[in-house]
Chains A and B, each alone.
Chain A
Amino acid sequence: NAGVTQTPKFRVLKTGQSMTLLCAQDMNHEYMYWYRQDPGMGLRLIHYSVGEGTTAKGEVPDGYNVSRLKKQNFLLGLESAAPSQTSVYFCASSSSRQVQYFGPGTRLTVT
């Protein structure tokens, strides 16, 4: 059981470039989440999904898009990266309203 995995671990982008972060879970969880972690701000929810084919906006969705085509995968896309999106991104999954399990994080720098 790998739990929650994230790809890539690190990435440096130039302003305006695009990229996709991949989150995968092998626990058959219905719920999946994308957070960003910034110093002094804690974790803020970007988007979430309550099941395959569904997505919803969280607290800070602007500049990001997501897709949940398969139950085990949750993709986070940045269409045109900005320096303000420099952050550590965490994916999490949970079964219904149970405990959330987090991935190892992706450290993204936008120059």
Chain B
Amino acid sequence: AQRVTQPEKLLSVFKGAPVELKCNYSYSGSPELFWYVQYSRQRLQLLLRHISRESIKGFTADLNKGETSFHLKKPFAQEEDSAMYYCALNGRGSQGNLIFGKGTKLSVKP
């Protein structure tokens, strides 16, 4: 079964501290993974996709097939990073359907 698990509902850090939002997935095959972000009262927007291997707003995420993880990391959190973060999986044959985790709310305190 295809599944995305985000074990933390809420993650609270201080400004300037490193942050890691965890994402584990269950999928047999080569998954396509994404991180979406939703700032307060705004629409969801793509933050990262693993095939791009890029850094957006200082965030990076590496696909670890051995651990079936796609954790999102940033070395120095900023207050404007406070948002809801969703990890999503797009499996082969799913016709483009994304399977979302339940989300992690990141709160960056001053």
Which positions in A face B, CB cutoff 8 Å? 4, 31, 33, 40-45, 48, 50, 56, 58, 90, 92, 94, 96-100, 102-105
Contact = CB atoms under 8 A, between A and B. Distances in A.
Interface of B: 9, 32, 34, 42-46, 49, 86, 90, 95-98, 100-103
A40 B97 contact: no
B43 A42 contact: no
A96 B96 contact: yes
Main secondary structure of the interface of B (DSSP, over half): loop
A100 B100 contact: no
Given A31-B96, A42-B86, A99 B49 contact: yes
A31 B102 contact: no
B100 A31 contact: no
B96 A97 contact: yes
Contacts of B102: 40-42
Given A94-B96, A100-B46, 11 more contacts: A31-B96, A40-B102, A43-B100, A45-B97, A48-B95, A90-B44, A96-B96, A100-B96, A102-B44, A103-B43, A105-B43
Contacts of A97: 32, 90, 95-96
Contact of A40 (B9, B42, B90, B98): B9
A22 to B, nearest CB: 16
